[in-house]
Structure formats: C-alpha cells, structure tokens
A and B are shown apart, each in its own frame.
Chain A
C-alpha cells in the first residue's frame, strides 16, 4: 500500500501542470463552499455575540428588524424617537432589572455617535458575559466628554485628551458640524469585536447640549449660538431617545413586559426579543446562503469533472505503464487502487489548500468587513458542515477516480503484458 502511495505521488508529480491545475480548481471550489459557510456562521456568531443578557430592545413603533439593526448594530437609522418620559416609565417598572438608553443621530468621520448613560458601562454585555472595559481613561463625566471604541481610536489616532468635533447626521462628509461645541476624549474602550469598537459614546446630556440652541432641526443663525462654556447640566432636559435595552427580572417578566410595552397607551412603542429577531434575520439570509452554496457546489462539480477528464485522458498513454506494473507483479486490483489513490490525493490536497485559503481569507477580510460594513465577523473554527464538505469532496474525488481506475483495471487484465 505504501508503495502504491509513493507511486501515485510520483505519478502526479510527473504531471505537474495538470495536477496543480486540478488541485487549484478543487481548492477554489472548496474555498467557495467553506468560505460562504464560514462567513455565514462568522456573521451569525458576530451578530449574536454583540448583545448578551438583554431581554428586550425597545424603540418607537416600527419594524422589529430595523429596530434591532439600528439600536444594536448601528446599521440604518431610527425612523422615530421615543419620549424620555416613556423611557422613565419603563425604567422604573418593577419587572425591570436595568435599562440602557441610546440616542443616535450624529457622527464623526463616518463613525456613529451614541448618546447613553452610565448604565451602558455598567450593564452592557457581549459574547455572553463580557462587560465594557477601558483600555485607557474612564467614563465620561462632563457634558462634553466622550469615550471612543478601539477601532475609532486606532483608525483616527485618537487618545485620551483628543478634541473631536461631531457632525450632524450620519454622512462621512457632513455639511453641518458642531464645531462650536467640541468634545474631549476621556476614555478609550477595550476591543470587543462588536460594533461598539467603531462607535463614539457621549452622554445623553452631551447630545442634548449639542442641539440646545437648534430650533426645529436647523442650526442657530450666526451669532445666536450658545457657547459651550455656558451650558450647565441643570439647563438640559432630555426629551427623546432612540431606543433602549431592557433586562427583566425573569423570563416570564420578559414576555409580560413585551406585551405591556407593545400595548402602551401613552405612546406607540415596539419591544422585541433580540434573539428571536436575529432568527428572522438568519431566515432572511438563509436564501442567500443556499443560493451561494449552490453556486459553490456547481463550481465543485466542475472542479471534480476537470480532474476526471485529466485522469481519463492520460489513460491511453499509461497503458504501457500498467503493463509494466503487471509484469512486476501488481494485481489489476492494485492498478485500480493506484488510480483511485491518485484522484483521492488530488482531492485531499485540493481540500487542504481550499480550507487553508478559506480561513486565511476570512482572517484577512474580517477587520475590513467589520470596519466598512459594520458586519461583525467572528473567527470560527471547524463546523460539522465544513467537515461534511471536506468529506464529500474527498469521497467524490475517490468515487470519480473509480471511473479511470475501472478502465485501467480492465486494460490491465485485457492487455496483460502485451500493451504496445
């Protein structure tokens, strides 16, 4: 058997070009198959890992998926805000353990600015039970204090003490800048591998102060701005927030509270259970996953067929070789095994390269994807689906190898020692 393996290896090595092209095509299809699957699972784990221990996400009446996307993943914008009074009502609800309010609408160089309060630093959890930590500095105290995510700090080169000017709206190049009221970075958050990394956090008061002299959504006329130094916390009255997270005291409370919020008389609100809404998202993305997997599967079939063609066309010129092996005492069954081994080796090397490429690429694109599209990608290990793909490719390679192998076997028997 070892002799056969060495023979198969040398035989493939002697046909370098065809072998490497076949290996390449199989590796490519494995890369696609595994890549699609890894990105799907990576995104799934990334999304699920972003928010933990939160039972409800609450926003103004609207779709549950948009609410989850803007409140937790900073994708899209809230269509409506909810009143701070309603927030206070549910914050003080007996079934509620804690809440985290979020208000959004400003940005800085394309990074979201989120206004929140101390509860965020206190209670926010991701990847099961990890809490927000500071790489440097501390929580914002003053009105114009800000903390920044690790990605923001790294990309923009900010550190504790940096002055930043926020822009109104979410465009990277905003026309309206809050230039008269700069913020000071007082804390840099530790890396979380969630959208928190690419956000800037200010206080709810800070958000209010930015717009204190605005009227009906337009900035004050020249000379009418209220200088930052004159603003005091006591003058600021928080009127609206975009969404808030809720941790209830028990599972039953969650369901009861969700119902209570959704039927709240004073204001139309929507409360969602994040895990359930994420499931909706996966169902939605499932179609894309299936479509991409089908395309990758088709590429795999093409790759395997290319291997079959390469091995089959080489058969005629290998008739002499088969006769020589028979003369040395190889049984026709061993000739069969030799050909199957060759195709299996090709697929095995193809699978190995494909897997390595898939994980390598995933590792490389992870950070850019997270930075540019806000999609958190987790580095995920092997899954049963990846092992299944690997096994299927190996098995298909071995099975397809049987086609030329059967021909070689029969040639070996018919030609005996006399193939010319």
Chain B
C-alpha cells in the first residue's frame, strides 16, 4: 500500500496561478525519501498538501489510505495528528511545556497514538524514546533551557512517539552544525525504522542524500515552471 499517492494534483491560492501541479507521485510505505529542490520549487506546498494543512484544488491526495481531498479540514487535522509526525527546521516545541509534556502531547490528543505505544505506560514510553535519543537527563526541564541540538532531538521524540505511519521532517538539520547533522540524521533514520514509519526528509543539502534510498526532486515533478 502506498503511504503517499498524488495524482493530477493542482494547487493554487489564486485562480489561474497554480503553484504546484503534480501528475503522479507515489511513495511506498516504509520508504525513506529525500525530497529536495531550490526554494520556490514547491517543497513547502507539497508538504502542506501531504500533511493536510493545504487543500488541493484538483486531483487526488491519498495519504495513508485516506483521500485528503474528500476529508473535512478537521478530519484532515485528526488524520495528521494521529498518523503523522512532523519535525520543523527549528522551534519545534511548545515553550511553556517541559520536555516530557512536549513529547507526551500528541498521545494526549490522539487516542490512536496512545494505543500504539510499546511500553506499558505513557511515561515508560517517553522514557524509552528519551533514552534512545539520549535525552533522559532533560525530561523535566523546560524546553527553553535546551540547546538547539537537544531541542531537535526532543522534536524527533515528539514526532515518533506512538509510532506514526509517516514522519515528515522539513529541513530539520539546517539549524545544526555539520557534526550534529550526521548524528541527528542517523538517529532519525534509526527510530523511524524501529517504528516502521515512512520518512519524508526535506533538505536543500545534497550531502545528506546518500543516506536515503530514494531521491525526489520537487522541481522535476512539479509541472509548474517557476521563474
């Protein structure tokens, strides 16, 4: 079963000025995909469509078995929260919650994710993931006290808790220095494999490409020719 399947998709904010037009895109479940392209190529728009924050004007956007174009906006939000983990470039965390609360949040909101945890309790699961990501010592700290590298690792923990079927990482390494990029990427790929999550990794840094089995250039699949 494909994790992501886009067919004849057109997206535009304004009529007659499409930003993204994709004839077909298929990402199989379990794949690790490196998505790249220059800014303006439509990466962000594509991620918005897959995550269900944006609504395609035409075509089919099937993500994890559901056609997002047929879902209401709140159903798309629930689908995203329950089945997807999302990692941003930076500022991934709720500033007024502790590390533990940040990691736990999506399990509190989505029963589906809570059901999929492997430890017997949520606390146990948080501890398991935290020690996996070398975060055990920080669980009760406010997130504002953490370094950028630590914050990004908490972001991984938050994204993968409750084993989402799809993890989307939007330039998660660009705020890290080169040494940390390597270890971050290794950890991310490892925990995604353990959770059997499909990984879509977005970056403009082609040096990270080698770690991924499939590479997709957004500017190649996007039929809209941008300046």
Please report A residues at the B interface, Cβ cutoff 8 Å: 3, 7, 10-11, 13-15, 320-321, 323-333, 416-418, 420
A325 touches B77 (CB 8 A): no
A416 touches B78 (CB 8 A): no
A320 touches B91 (CB 8 A): yes
Number of chain B residues close to chain A: CB under 8 A: 32
B88 to chain A: which residues have CB within 8 Å?
A: 323-324, 327, 417
**Other A-B pairs beyond A3-B109, A321-B94, 7, CB < 8 Å:** A3-B105, A10-B97, A14-B95, A15-B96, A323-B88, A328-B109, A331-B77
Sample 22 A-B pairs with CB under 8 A, ordered by A number: A10-B101, A11-B96, A13-B96, A15-B96, A320-B91, A323-B88, A324-B91, A325-B94, A326-B53, A328-B105, A328-B109, A329-B79, A329-B82, A329-B109, A330-B81, A331-B73, A331-B77, A331-B78, A416-B51, A417-B53, A417-B86, A417-B170
CB distance from B204 to the nearest CB of A (A): 15
A416 touches B97 (CB 8 A): no
A326 touches B77 (CB 8 A): yes
B74 touches A333 (CB 8 A): yes
Residue-wise interface mask of B (193-223) relative to A, using a CB-CB cutoff of 8 A (1 in contact, 0 not)? 0000000000000000000000000000000
Known: A324-B91, A324-B92. Contact between A417 and B47, CB under 8 A? yes
Residue-wise interface mask of B (90-110) relative to A, using a CB-CB cutoff of 8 A (1 in contact, 0 not)? 011111110001000110111
B108 to chain A: which residues have CB within 8 Å?
A: 3
B89 to chain A: which residues have CB within 8 Å?
A: 420
A323 to chain B: which residues have CB within 8 Å?
A: 88
Please report B residues at the A interface, Cβ cutoff 8 Å: 44, 47-48, 51, 53-54, 73-74, 77-82, 86, 88-89, 91-97, 101, 105-106, 108-110, 158, 170
Bound form: Cα–Cα A75–B143 in Å: 66
A-B contact count (CB 8 A): 67
Bound form: Cα–Cα A104–B110 in Å: 79
The 7 closest A-B pairs by CB, nearest first: A329-B81, A14-B96, A416-B53, A327-B86, A331-B77, A320-B91, A331-B74
A321 to chain B: which residues have CB within 8 Å?
A: 94-95
Known: A323-B88, A330-B109. Contact between A418 and B44, CB under 8 A? yes
CB distance from B95 to the nearest CB of A (A): 7
Bound form: Cα–Cα A417–B54 in Å: 10
A329 touches B110 (CB 8 A): yes
Bound form: Cα–Cα A420–B89 in Å: 9
Known: A10-B97, A11-B96, A418-B44. Contact between A327 and B74, CB under 8 A? no
**Which residue of A13, A327, A332, A418 has the most chain B CB atoms within 10 A of its CB atom?**
A327
Bound form: Cα–Cα A111–B48 in Å: 82
A418 touches B48 (CB 8 A): yes
B47 to chain A: which residues have CB within 8 Å?
A: 417
Bound form: Cα–Cα A69–B110 in Å: 69
CB distance from B105 to the nearest CB of A (A): 6
CB distance from A329 to the nearest CB of B (A): 1
A329 touches B94 (CB 8 A): no
CB distance from B30 to the nearest CB of A (A): 22
CB distance from A212 to the nearest CB of B (A): 82
